[in-house]
Structure 1
Amino acid sequence: MLPSFFIAHGAPLLAIENNTYTQFLNTLGSTLPRPKAVVLFSAHWESSTQKVSDVNEYKTIYDFGGFPESLYRIQYPARGDSEIAKEIKELFTMHGIPFEVETNRGLDHGAWVVLRMLYPNADIPVISMSVDPNLKPEEQYKIGQSLSELREKDILIIGSGGTVHNLRALKMVEDDSLVDQWALGFDEWLAIRLKNWDVESLFKYDTLAPTANLAVPPYGNEHFIPIFYAMGAVDNEKTAKLLHRSYRYGNLSHSVWQFG
């Protein structure tokens, strides 16, 4: 049975950089059994009702501005899979989770930056999924939980975001070896709770975790919450392992968590 993952997609520049994190992601896909498909919850697709993509071939969305031209030339022409989309719709119906089908939207950079490093040939079918920042963490977890049986069918579930993601706090010109203590403190708190599968505390991270207001700022939790969707998918195992953690720009966390 495949694990699920929470994978930080960093800043868009990650797509053209060569560093310890990109090197890790470039090898991660080859260490896993080849999945039948990838179901990916992206921080850059927010909706008040759960969206399920059912497309033939995805366009590449450049949902950012002011970056080098080479970023806008990247293509990731992944295909969808209608049969797996149908399975997801059936599972949501069975578990009483409202959803809508999206037949046109392409892959945002929260999806293709990660997928391109894991599976550079774009030869694994993808089902893109939205996230809802206004749901309670327990509800986000339940959505992931409803999809857990997909793992038995060699379908890989990924939540793409970032544990520490505060664009207003980034220090773009600083040495990457200098990491803000508040970012480290939040990630250490998170690591302990994840390894203990302490969902009671995790669901209250915004009031219990140190410096949560900086790591997951009040103006946006969309990058943090994909972790709950990924965790829910392995509720029957409840195991977590930190595979990689590094930082850019003083506090932008590049974390990869494996669940299951």
Structure 2
Amino acid sequence: MLPSFFIAHGAPLIAIENNEYTQFLSHLGQGLPRPKAIVLFSAHWESSTQKVSSVDEYSTIYDFGAFPEELFRIQYPAKGNEEITKEIQDLFKNQGVSFEIDTKRGLDHGAWVVLRLLYPNAEIPVISMSINPQLSPEEQYRVGKSLSELREKDVLIIGSGGTVHNLRALNWAKDNGEVDDWALNFDEWLSSHLENWDLASLYNYDSLASTAKLAVPPYGNEHFVPIFYAMGAADKQQTAKLLHRSYRYGNLSHSVWQFG
């Protein structure tokens, strides 16, 4: 059975960089059993109703600006998988999860940056999934949990976002690996509760973690909440392991968590 993962997609620049984190993700993809398909919840696809993609081949969305032209030339033409999309629909129906099928949207950079590092040849079918930041963490966990049996069928489930993602706090000139105390404080709080699968505390991270307002700012929690979707997919095992953690620009976290 494949584990599920929460993977930080960082800044779009990692798509063209060669560093500790990009090398880690490349090795991660090489070391995993080949999945039948990938189901990916992206922080950059927000929707009030759960969206499930159903496309033959994805276009590549460049949902960013003011970056090198090289980024805008990248293509990641992954294909969909009708069989897995149908299974997702059936699972959602059985679990009472409302959803809508999307037949047009391409892959945003929260998806293709991660996927391209894991599987550069775009040979694994992908089912792209939206996230709903307005749901409670319990509800987000439940959405992931409803798909947990897909892991038994060699489907890789990924939540793509960032545990510490506060664009207003970034220092683009500070790229020496140093980390702000408040960012490290939040990630260490998170680690202790993830490793103990302490859902009661995790569901209330915003009030219990002392630096949560900086790490997961009130104006946007969309990058943090994919972790609950990924956790839910591993509810039967309830084990969490930190595979990688590093930082850019003072506080942008590159965390990779394995669940199950």
TM-score (norm 1): 0.99
Aligned to 1:78: 78
Q: What CA deviation, in whole Å up to 9, does each residue of 1:126-171 have, x standing for no partner?
A: 0000000000000000000000000000000000000000000000
Aligned to 1:16: 16
- Contact kept? 2:177, 2:246, Cα under 8 Å: no
- Contact kept? 2:44, 2:108, Cα under 8 Å: yes
Aligned to 1:58: 58
Alignment of 1:33 onto 2:33: yes
Amino acid at match of 2:212: A
Amino acid at match of 1:18: N
Q: What CA deviation, in whole Å up to 9, does each residue of 1:2-51 have, x standing for no partner?
A: 00000000001110111100010011011110000000000000000000
Aligned to 2:146: 146
- 1:228-239 aligned within 5 A: 228-239=228-239
Alignment of 1:169 onto 2:169: yes
The 3-state SS of whatever aligns with 1:245 is: strand
Deviation, structure 1 residue 124: 0.1
- 1:86-235 aligned within 5 A: 86-235=86-235
Deviation, structure 1 residue 178: 1.8
The 3-state SS of whatever aligns with 1:101 is: strand
Deviation, structure 1 residue 176: 2.4
Alpha-carbon distance between aligned partners in 2 of 1:117 and 1:31, rounded to the nearest angstrom? 13
Aligned residues: 260
Deviation, structure 1 residue 204: 0.2
Runs of 4+ in 1 over 3 A off after TM superposition: none
Closer/same/farther in 2, CA of residues 157 and 254 from structure 1, 3 Å limit: same
The 3-state SS of whatever aligns with 1:188 is: helix
* CA RMSD, Structure 1 to Structure 2 (Å): 0.5
The 3-state SS of whatever aligns with 2:214 is: helix
Amino acid at match of 1:86: K
Alpha-carbon distance between aligned partners in 1 of 2:86 and 2:175, rounded to the nearest angstrom? 47
Deviation, structure 1 residue 177: 2.5
Q: What CA deviation, in whole Å up to 9, does each residue of 1:47-93 have, x standing for no partner?
A: 00000000000000000001000000000000000110000000000
Amino acid at match of 1:192: S
The 3-state SS of whatever aligns with 1:123 is: coil
Alpha-carbon distance between aligned partners in 2 of 1:176 and 1:139, rounded to the nearest angstrom? 38
Deviation, structure 1 residue 210: 1.8
The 3-state SS of whatever aligns with 1:206 is: helix
The 3-state SS of whatever aligns with 1:253 is: strand
Aligned to 2:251: 251
Alpha-carbon distance between aligned partners in 2 of 1:18 and 1:76, rounded to the nearest angstrom? 18
Seq. identity, % = 76
Alpha-carbon distance between aligned partners in 2 of 1:177 and 1:14, rounded to the nearest angstrom? 15
Alpha-carbon distance between aligned partners in 1 of 2:124 and 2:53, rounded to the nearest angstrom? 15
The 3-state SS of whatever aligns with 1:171 is: coil
TM-score (norm 2): 0.99
Alpha-carbon distance between aligned partners in 2 of 1:126 and 1:242, rounded to the nearest angstrom? 24
Amino acid at match of 2:128: S
- Contact kept? 2:42, 2:131, Cα under 8 Å: yes
Q: What CA deviation, in whole Å up to 9, does each residue of 1:88-128 have, x standing for no partner?
A: 00000000000000000000000000000000000000000
